[in-house]
Amino acid sequence: MNLPAAKVIDITLPIFEKEVLQRSLETPVLVDFWAPWCGPCKTLGPTLEKLANEFAGAFVLAKVDIDQNAELADAFGVQSVPTVVLVSGGQVVDGFVGAQPEAKIKELLARNGVGAKPKVDAVSEALEFEKQGALEKAVQHLRNHVVMGGGDARARAQLARLCALAGRTDEARKLWDGLPPDEKESEPAKVAKSLLDLAAQAGDLAPLEAAVKKAPKDVKARLALGRGLLAAHQHERALEELWTAAQTDLAFEGGEPKKALLETFGLLGEEHPLTKQYRRKLSVLLCS
């Protein structure tokens, strides 16, 4: 059947069968019989709606105004309001009469196997995709979250960083420019800015590659090529060149190869597969 997701629905007789009975075959439905003139209903209603949102779709709250739907009230034998019944599998399985505290309502839900669904953190999910090496998937996932209205400053800062890392510099720049001043000081925003500044320095790689080909042991040339490749978003090749420079002469110009590698790790992030790979190699080199 796959009815559209909902948390709170106003019920009338024509839609009762579909929105309560049929829906309860998939998701428990908590039916709140209430009336505009009922004082306790005004206390209970907000509590039920709060729980419906807190439980994030684990149950649906169906609100029935008995003044407008006397037939439904009669069918359920409602004697007074508020009356609340839990419908699951097309049948009433539990309920209560009168305003109840939040804890009691949670007890009713729990004993019927209705549990709160944990809120999904889109930023954490995107970072997990990035950790797995699926950068484009991470970008798309977080972009969808931002477009759908979940774009708080934290999410937009991370999206700016991911876009910059993926070479989507125009999108990253627009996101970074739109961040509040305080968020621009966050670590993701700072990394995004560094990546954008680096991308602005991107140039023709041909002369850098020619210099390395001409003098393979020239550490300065290797470093220049590595940084040029990094600016061009060729991360794996960039690390290969920087690693070769470190192997050739780790102490060159006061440890410039090590510095270049560490800067790259910072830009890619500690969870990036390339960072993990080359950090291990650098550790071995440092200990040798």
Residues 128 and 219 in one domain: no
Are 141 and 122 contacting, i.e. CB atoms less than 8 angstroms apart? Answer: yes
- Evaluate whether residue 242 is within a structural domain: yes
Check residue 211 and give its pLDDT.
95
Residues 268 and 236 in one domain: yes
Convert the pLDDT of each residue in 181-193 to its tens digit.
999 999 999 999 9
Q: Which of 163, 178, 200 is a domain's end point? A: 200
- Evaluate whether residue 165 is within a structural domain: yes
Residues 194 and 222 in one domain: no
Convert the pLDDT of each residue in 141-161 to its tens digit.
999 888 876 568 889 999 999
> Over the range 216-227, which residues count as b (16 or more CB within 10 Å of their CB) and which as e?
eebbebbbbbbb
Residues 226 and 254 in one domain: yes
Q: What is the mean pLDDT of residues 269-283?
A: 90
Convert the pLDDT of each residue in 31-89 to its tens digit.
999 999 999 999 999 999 999 988 888 899 999 999 999 999 999 999 999 999 999 99
Place of tokens 């500044």: 197
The count of domains in the chain is: 3
Residues 38 and 76 in one domain: yes
Check residue 53 and give its pLDDT.
87
Residues 192 and 214 in one domain: no
Residues 16 and 104 in one domain: yes
Distance CA 166, CA 135 (A): 7
Q: What percent of the chain has pLDDT over 70?
A: 95
Are 255 and 286 contacting, i.e. CB atoms less than 8 angstroms apart? Answer: no
Residues 134 and 87 in one domain: no
Check residue 150 and give its pLDDT.
57
Q: Report whether the peptide linkage leading into residue 181 is cis, meaning its omega lies within 30 degrees of zero.
A: no
Residues 282 and 215 in one domain: yes
Asked if residue 4 has pLDDT above 50, the reply is no
Confidence of residue 272 (pLDDT cuts 50, 70, 90): confident
Convert the pLDDT of each residue in 91-145 to its tens digit.
999 999 999 999 999 999 999 989 876 666 888 889 889 888 888 999 999 998 8
- Evaluate whether residue 2 is within a structural domain: no
Asked if residue 5 has pLDDT above 60, the reply is no
Residues 195 and 213 in one domain: no
Higher pLDDT, 268 or 121: 268
CATH code of 65's domain: 3.40.30.10
Check residue 151 and give its pLDDT.
65
Catalytic residue among 20, 38, 99, 245: 38
Active site residue 41: yes
Asked if residue 11 has pLDDT above 90, the reply is yes
Active site residue 163: no
- Evaluate whether residue 117 is within a structural domain: no
CATH code of 240's domain: 1.25.40.10
- Evaluate whether residue 211 is within a structural domain: yes
Convert the pLDDT of each residue in 216-241 to its tens digit.
999 999 999 999 999 988 999 999 99
Residues 169 and 192 in one domain: yes
Are 162 and 152 contacting, i.e. CB atoms less than 8 angstroms apart? Answer: no
Q: Which of 64, 85, 111 is a domain's end point? A: 111
Residues 21 and 46 in one domain: yes
- Evaluate whether residue 55 is within a structural domain: yes
The domain in which residue 94 lies consists of 8-111
Are 139 and 168 contacting, i.e. CB atoms less than 8 angstroms apart? Answer: yes
Distance CA 16, CA 257 (A): 70
Q: Which of 90, 111, 132 is a domain's end point? A: 111
Catalytic residue among 9, 11, 41, 142: 41
